[in-house]
Amino acid sequence: MLFVIFSCFLWTLISANDLTPIVSISSGPVQGKFVDFNGIKVAHFLGVPYAKPPIKSLRFQSPEKVDPWTEVKSVTNYGASCPQRSEHIKPEETNEDCLFLNVYVTESTFNSSATRKRPVLFWIHGGALTMGSGNEFYPGLPMVPFEDVILVTHNYRLNAFGFMYFGAGEPRIPSNIGLRDQLMAMQWVRENIAKFGGDPNQVTIFGESAGSMSVSAHILSPLTKGLFKRAILESGTIYNPVDDPSFFIGNAWSVLNRTSCASSHDILTCLQGLSVPEIIDNQSDGLLRFRWVYGDDFLPFTVNEAFDQDLYDDSVDLLVGTEKNEFSIFMAKLDAKLFNPVDPSPTDYQTALGYLALTFKQESLDYFRELYFGPPTSDSAFLRSQLEKAYSDTALLCPTYMFGLKFAKDGQQSGKVFGYYRTQKAKSTMFPPCDASSWMGTCHAGEIPFVFGFPFLDPNATQSERDLSSQVMKFGLILLNSVNLQCWWTEWKTLNSDDQR
């Protein structure tokens, strides 16, 4: 066997039948590993640092480019997840030094000519901006060999570490730090992905839930313009009714006041010296306690200002969509008995109306009562179902589709806009309570197993689940390669303000 060195790739001989991929990226050479999938070798580059460790004086600061290295760095294991409080990620699996990304690419992509660069999928994980990871939860198999694409996943700072904001006063902490981490990872892709065989001009960013909200923020940010060509939003956007920064500033001060730094003369330096548990344990529970803010260089305009004044890049192709029963998995937080996944207790009209009043303002309550409930009824299953629908519409369905409609500008945008709505309940989802429930329906994040091809890894998956996953991945392949979707889907007229369906 020959030892071959190319301008972008290096291969080292391990044995007669085993080559280890080594790629020279902008910061230095990295060595991954091959994983076999149905006879196809897929290179895994795991735990590649894309920014300096955000520790000590870099805590609560915008990310900085990673320092270069000269020796070959082994990247065969996932890096640490970012600090969080999570049922699925143990504290010992987290570390502030967490700004890593993962690249999955087939062996054939390495061997292809320089003119056959592959499309790139850049995934942003969900988790309410407070938890989650881009690691083993979103593997490149079987998606990468099926679609013949390159998949990049990454970690970004979460909760207070990534989104704590005190406003214009002291302590001066940059806003939208977690989004800036994502931006730096995208810039890394732009700079390096060609060395893996990827096309930097054919990047699709996609995400689910808080990841989808992040995608929508990048669509509106002037700092990310030109870093991606297409975007897929799965269940969430920043088109959100909670835009008052005082709420999030209040959450930041709530954390600070529970620490020893509240009376410090140099609050920022004090916060940078706290232990990770001192920050994590002093955060309040709840969804989106920390999130994006407007008015900085990353998001200079609110979503309405950006759309109303055409202050966004409308040249990207956009796909938006949701699950039918987005909020069902969160309903138990309102009432654990009434919304028990397996054995829900009965309810009555007045109780259900009380829960509806938690979502809608008093002056509009009569309208929404008629819209969702109609005349008084004792049908407990109907009331439960309609409550779930009201919460799903408000929290995720309406913001997601409204973002797509606003982006489309009555069909005057440069890029194409598509939508989907998934109703097929899967046997196995991301949330076991949903799997066991007869009423929760097509739950939040239920599309993820199909997007990543998980039914093909599950020997107990049904044929219909594998068929749906195959169709979803085929759709991604068609979208990535700019094929006319009308040849695959039923013909559908271009949407305008008089013909919204």
Domains and their CATH numbers in the chain: 9-313 (3.40.50.1820)
CA distance 422 to 469: 12
SS3 category, 25 = strand
- Per-residue pLDDT at 480: 67
CA 57 to chain centre: 28
Q: Are 229 and 317 in contact (CB under 8 A)?
A: yes
CA distance 160 to 248: 10
- Per-residue pLDDT at 280: 95
Neighbours of 370 (CB within 10 A): 10
pLDDT values of the chain reduced to their tens digit, one per residue, 501 residues: 232 322 333 333 232 235 789 999 999 999 999 999 999 999 999 999 999 999 999 999 999 999 999 999 999 999 999 999 998 999 999 999 999 999 999 998 977 756 689 999 999 999 999 999 999 999 999 999 999 899 999 999 999 999 999 988 788 999 999 999 999 999 999 999 999 999 999 999 999 999 999 999 999 999 999 999 999 999 999 987 556 778 889 899 999 999 999 999 999 999 999 999 999 999 987 777 899 999 999 999 999 999 999 999 999 999 999 999 999 999 998 999 999 999 999 999 999 999 999 988 889 999 999 999 999 999 999 999 999 999 999 999 999 999 999 999 867 778 889 899 999 887 767 788 898 898 999 999 999 999 999 999 989 888 988 998 998 888 776 676 655 555 455 555 666 655 555
- Per-residue pLDDT at 113: 55
Give the pair of three-digit tokens for residue 246: 């005082």
CA distance 94 to 290: 19
The pair phi, psi for residue 470, each rounded to 5°, is -60, -40
CA distance 119 to 41: 18
The residue length of the chain stands at: 501
Q: Are 223 and 190 in contact (CB under 8 A)?
A: no
Rg of the chain (C-alpha set): 23
Vertex 317 angle, CA 295 and 495, to 5°: 100
- Per-residue pLDDT at 491: 57
Give the pair of three-digit tokens for residue 316: 């990207």
Q: Are 209 and 215 in contact (CB under 8 A)?
A: no
- Per-residue pLDDT at 3: 28
Q: Are 426 and 448 in contact (CB under 8 A)?
A: no
Q: Are 110 and 23 in contact (CB under 8 A)?
A: no
CA distances for 320 relative to 147, 213, 405, angstroms:
20, 11, 10
Q: Which residues on neighbouring strands pair with residue 204, listed in sequence order?
A: 121, 230
- Per-residue pLDDT at 4: 31
* N-terminal to C-terminal alpha carbon distance within the chain: 60
For 65-119, the DSSP string reads PPPP--SPEE-BSPPPBPS---SSS-GGGB-S---EEEEEEEHHHHHS-TT-PEE
